[in-house]
Amino acid sequence: MTDLYLGIAVQLSRGSACAVIDETGTMTASTRFTLVEQARDWIAEIAARSSATPVIGIDGPRQPLVEGRPWHWNGRGRLWRKRGANEPGHGRHCEVVLNAHGLANPQWTPLVDDVPKWMQLGFDLYEALAEYATLEVFPTASYRLLRGCPDVHVDLNFADFASGPKDMLDACMGAATVREHAAGRGEAVGGGDGLGAIVLPRPITDGRISAVFDWPAE
C-alpha cells in the first residue's frame, strides 16, 4: 500500500531538497543531495524501511523539447500557430496551461541543446527513479490553487531547512501535491504534446479555460 509521498525541489548550488510525508501529512524524513545516485539510494532505503512504494513529485520538467513548440495561447480563447521568423518557441503544453490560467510563470522548457544544468539534473532524476511513480509538480501553482483551502497541511520537521528554507518548503508542497493527486482530489494538466503533464493538488476551476486543455494534433 502506498502511504509515502516524496517531493524533490531540484536545485544545484545548495543541493536538491527532498521531503517525505505520510498519509496524515506528517513529515517523516528529509535530506539534501547533490548527486542523482545519492537520491536514488536514499529513496530506496526509505522505501525498504517502510515497506511502502513511494510516489515522487519532482519540481522540474520531465524532458526537453526536441523541436520548437508550434502552438501558442493567444489569450483570447484559442491556440494558434505563430509563423514569425523566431518561432516556434520554447515550453511544453503543461506549462502553457498553467501560464494561461495565471497559476505560474514557467521557466519555459527549452530545446535539448539549450537545457540548463539544473533542468538536466531533473531529467536524470526521472530516469534514475523510473522504478517508482514519478510525477511532475509545480509548487507555485499548487500554492495558488490551495489558497483559502483549510484541509491540506503538512506537519513540518525543520531538521533540513537551514540550507534553503524555500527549497525544502517546495519539496513539502511537492509531496503534498502528489498525495492529493493520488487520492483523487487533484488534476493532471497538459501532456497533449507528449512531453509530460503537471499534477496539481486541486482541479483548476476558477476561470477555467477549456480551449487550452486541447492540444491540436497538427
| Domain assignments of the chain as residue spans, ordered by start | 4-61+112-191
**Residue range 1-49, pLDDT digits in tens:** 568 999 999 999 899 999 999 999 999 999 999 999 999 999 999 999 9
Cell numbers at 174, concatenated? 511537492
Q: How many helices (H) and strands (E) does the chain have?
A: 5, 9
Cα–Cα distance measured from residue 201 to residue 178, given in angstroms and rounded to the nearest whole number? 7
CA distance 73 to 79: 5
pTM as predicted: 0.94
Measured distance CA(16)–CA(22) in Å, rounded: 20
Other Cβ atoms closer than 10 A to 85? 4
Please, which residues have CB within 8 angstroms of residue 106's CB and are 6 or more apart in sequence?
91, 95, 98, 99, 138
Quick check: 25 and 175 in contact, CB under 8 A? no
Give the tens place of pLDDT for each residue, 94-140.
999 999 999 999 999 999 999 999 999 999 999 999 999 999 999 99
Q: Are 102 and 62 in contact (CB under 8 A)?
A: no
Q: Which tens digits make up the pLDDT trace of 163-216?
A: 899 999 999 999 999 999 999 999 999 999 999 999 999 999 999 999 999 898
Q: Three-state DSSP class for 190?
A: strand
CATH number of the 4-61+112-191 domain: 3.30.420.140
Q: How far apart are CA 33 and CA 46, in angstroms?
A: 15
Whether 58 contacts 161, CB under 8 Å: no
Strands 133-137 and 55-59: parallel
**What is the spatial distance between Cα 60 and Cα 10, in angstroms, rounded to a whole number?**
7
- In 3-state terms, what secondary structure has residue 52? coil
Provide the b/e sequence for 102-129 (b: ≥16 CB within 10 Å): ebbebeebbeeeebeeebebbbbbbebb
